[in-house]
Structure 1
Amino acid sequence: MKPVFKSLRLAGVALALASGIAGPARAAEPVLSAVASFSILGDLVRQVGGERVAVEVLVGPGSDAHVYSPKPAQAKQVGQAPLVFSNGMGFDGWMARLLKSAGFKGRHVVASAGIQPIKGTADPHGHGHGHAAADPHVWQDVARVQTYVKNIAQGLCAADAAGCEGYRSNAAAYGQQLERLEQEIRQAWGAIPAEKKLVISSHDAFGYYASAYGVRFLAPQGVSTDSEASAQGVARLVRQIRQEKASALFVESISDPRLIEQIARETGLKASTAGLYSDSLAPQGEAASYLGMMRYNTRVMIAAIQGR
C-alpha cells in the first residue's frame, strides 16, 4: 500500500472512531444509586433520573406496599444507599422502621411532601373509632404527580449537584407528558354522562382520581388493603350497587378477589376480566409504567361502564 493511501486510511479510521461511526456508543454508567419504596414511585424516579441514576425498588410490580415486610437483604441495601424515596402519608409506613434498623445515613425524600391529603372513607382497622384515614394514593391524580416530580428532582439535585441540570431537564420533559395525559383522561371522561360515572373497586384507592375526574368510586375496604370489610358495610354496598345499577366492578391487581367475587354473586354484576392497577405497576405490558397504568385504568373503566 502506498504511504499516501495508508495515511488516508488511518485518518479515516481515526475519524470514524472519533465520531462514533465505528461502533455503537456505550451507554453512560450511572453515577448515583437510589432506592424507591414501591414500583410506581420507582418509575417516576427513573423518569427524572435518566441514565445517570440506578434505581432499586423495594416493593416490586404486583406486590402490595400496604402490608409489606422488608427483607434483611433490603435493610442492607437501604443502609448503603445515598438516597431513598418514599411516598409518605402512611402508605409505606414501614419505611421509618427500615431506615432506623438499617442505620441509614443518606438523604430521605418523601415524594408527597407539600401535598394536602384528602380523607378516605371510614377505616375501622387500626383507627379505633372508624375515623376516615388520610388517603395516600396521591398518584391517582395526574396533576398532583407534578409535585412528586418536583420533589424527586430536588432530591436528586441535592445528592448529585453535577447532574442537576439534566434532572431538571428530564423533570420538565416528563411534566409535559403528564400534562398531555391529564388532558387525555379529562377528555375521555367528558364523553360519559355523570350518572354513569360509578366504579366499584376492591379498596378505597381512587379518591384522588374521583376528585380530579368526576368519577364516583365505591369499595368494601378502606384506604389500606390491611383494613377489614365489615359484613354490614358489604351489605350496604350491595344495596347501593343494585339501587344505582352500577355496571363497572373491578378486582385490583394487588387484592384478594374473593370479596369482589362475593359482591358479584350477590348483585348479579359480573366483575370485569380486566383488573385495575391501584398501588402497583404491572410486571409487563401497557400498565408497566405510570403513564401507561393511568391510560390503561381509564380505558378499562370506561369500557366497563359502556358495556364493552
Structure 2
Amino acid sequence: MLLRTLLLTGAAFAGLAASASAADLKAVASFTVLADIVHHVGGDKVTVTSLVGPDGDPHEFEPTPANAKALKAADITFVSGLGLEGWMDRLISASGYKGKPVVASEGISTRTMEEDGKTVTDPHVWNSPVNVKVWVANVEKALSAADPADAATFKANAEAYSKKLDELNAYAHQKFDRIAEDRRKVLTSHDAFGYLGREYKITFLSPLGISTETEASAGDVSKLIEQIKTEKVKTYFFENSNDPRLVKQVAKATGAQPGGELYVESLSKAKGPAPTYEKMFRYNVDQLATAMEKSS
C-alpha cells in the first residue's frame, strides 16, 4: 500500500513538473537589447533566445540555420520593428515559423529624419528609457495573452522594471541637465542616438545615417567635418557593433578626441560593461556626460 501511495505521489509530482515545463514559454527576440527586456518581464516563466548575439549589428545581421531552428520552435517572437530587422521576413519564410511577431515599438512616438533624399523613421527607440516603458507594456500584454495563467507574474515584473526605467530616466537627467546645452554635442559612428538626443537635448553628429548598411559619400563627410569645426565638437565615440574607421577619419580631420566606446544596438558579452539594458544605458550616459564635462 505504501509503495502504491509513493508511486501515485511520484506520478502526481511528475505530472505537475511536466505541466509547469509545458507552461514555460519559448520566446525569441530579434536582438539582445529587446531580449533582455523580454527576460525581465517574463522572469522564470519564459526562456528567451536572441537571434542577433552580443556585440552584433541588427542592421547587417545574416541569419543562420540555428536561428531558423530557434525561430521555428518559438511560442512567441518579438521584434522592435520600424524597419530595424529588414532580414526578419526572409528568416520567417525560411524557418517555417507560423506565428506573427509582436512589434514591441508599437505606440512609441517616433522621430523621422532625412536620408538619401527620403524621410525615414528612426528605429533606435530603446536609447530612451521612456520609450522602453512602451516596450515593457507591449511585452507584458503579449506574454499574458500567450500564457494567461502567469499574467499576474508578468504584470508584477513589468511594474517593477518600469520603476527601474523611471530611475534610469532620472539618472540621465541628473547627469545631462547640469551641462550647458551648447556643450551637449558629440560625434558618433552612425545616427543611432536620436531618441537619447531628443529626450536630453543632446546633439549627435555622425557620418552615417540610421543604418550601418548605408555608405557616406565624400561630400557628406566633408559637410560633416565643416559642421563639427563650426559647432566645435570636441569628442567622438565609436560603437561596439560597428566599424570605427570612418568616425576616426572624421575625428582626425576635426581634432575631436576619443571618448571611448558606446553600446548602441547591442549588449556586451556577460563580462563586458553592458550585459543588460540597465547597465548599457548607465554606461553610455556616464561615458557621454564625462566627455561633455571635459569639453566644458
TM-score between both structures, scaled by the size of structure 1: 0.86
Q: Which residue of 2 aligns with 1:123?
A: 115
Instruction: Note the 1:1-308 alignment, pairs <5 A.
Output: 31-120=24-113, 122-124=114-116, 130-272=117-259, 274-283=260-269, 284-307=271-294
Q: CA deviation at 1:195?
A: 0.6
Q: Which amino acid aligns with 2:217?
A: S
Structure 2: which amino acid aligns with 1:42? A
Letter paired with 1:55: V
Aligned partner letter, 1:169? A
Amino acid at match of 1:282: S
C-alpha distance after superposition, 1:50-109 (max 9, x if no partner): 011110110011010101111012112211211111110010121122112222123521
Distance in 1, Cα, partners of 2:174 & 2:209:
29
In 2, Cα distance between equivalents of 1:131 and 1:138 = 19
For 1:286 and 1:64, how far apart are their aligned partners in 2? 17
The answer for unaligned runs of 5 or more in structure 2 is 1-19
* Displacement after TM superposition at 1:144 (Å): 1.2
Structure 1 residue 294: deviation in Å?
0.8
| Distance (whole Å) between structure 2 residues aligned to residue 221 and residue 117 of structure 1 | 19
Q: Is the 8 A contact 1:281 1:288 kept in 2?
A: yes
C-alpha distance in 2 between matches for 1:75 and 1:286:
30
Question: 1:47·1:170 contact (CA, 8 Å) conserved in 2?
Answer: yes
d(CA) in 2 for partners of 1:286 and 1:226? 26
Q: Any idea what SS the aligned residue of 1:174 has?
A: helix
Q: Tell me, in whole angstroms, the C-alpha distance in 2 between the residues paired with 1:217 and 1:196.
A: 11
Task: Tell me by how many angstroms 1:265 deviates.
Answer: 1.5
Q: Which runs of 5+ in 1 are unaligned?
A: 1-27, 125-129
Distance in 2 between residues matched to 1:48 and 1:286, nearest whole Å: 22
- Three-state SS of the structure 1 residue aligned to 2:294 is coil
Question: Matched residues in 1 for 2:169 and 2:94: separation?
Answer: 39
Secondary structure at 2:51's aligned position in 1? strand
1:62–1:282: 8 Å Cα contact kept in structure 2? yes
Task: Report which of the two structures shows the higher radius of gyration computed on alpha carbons.
Answer: 1
Counterpart-to-counterpart distance in 2, 1:277 and 1:175: 21
Measured on the aligned residues, the alpha-carbon RMSD in Å equals: 1.5
| 1:123 CA drift (Å) | 2.3
Count how many residue pairs are aligned between Structure 1 and Structure 2: 274
Q: Any idea what SS the aligned residue of 2:238 has?
A: coil
CA distance in 1, matches of 2:139, 2:96: 22
Indicate if the aligned counterparts of 2:191 and 2:210 stay in contact, CA closer than 8 A. yes
Task: Check whether the contact 1:248–1:301 (CA below 8 A) recurs between aligned residues.
Answer: no
Aligned-pair distance for 1:285?
3.1
Question: Counterpart amino acid of 1:194?
Answer: E
In 2: Cα distance, 1:268 partner to 1:210 partner: 23
What amino acid maps onto 1:230 in structure 2?
S
**How far apart are residue 157 of structure 1 and its match?**
0.7
Do the aligned partners of 1:123 and 1:227 also contact (CA within 8 Å) in 2?
no
TM-score by length of 2: 0.89
1:271 aligns to what SS in structure 2? strand
Q: Distance in 1 between matches of 2:143 and 2:157?
A: 11
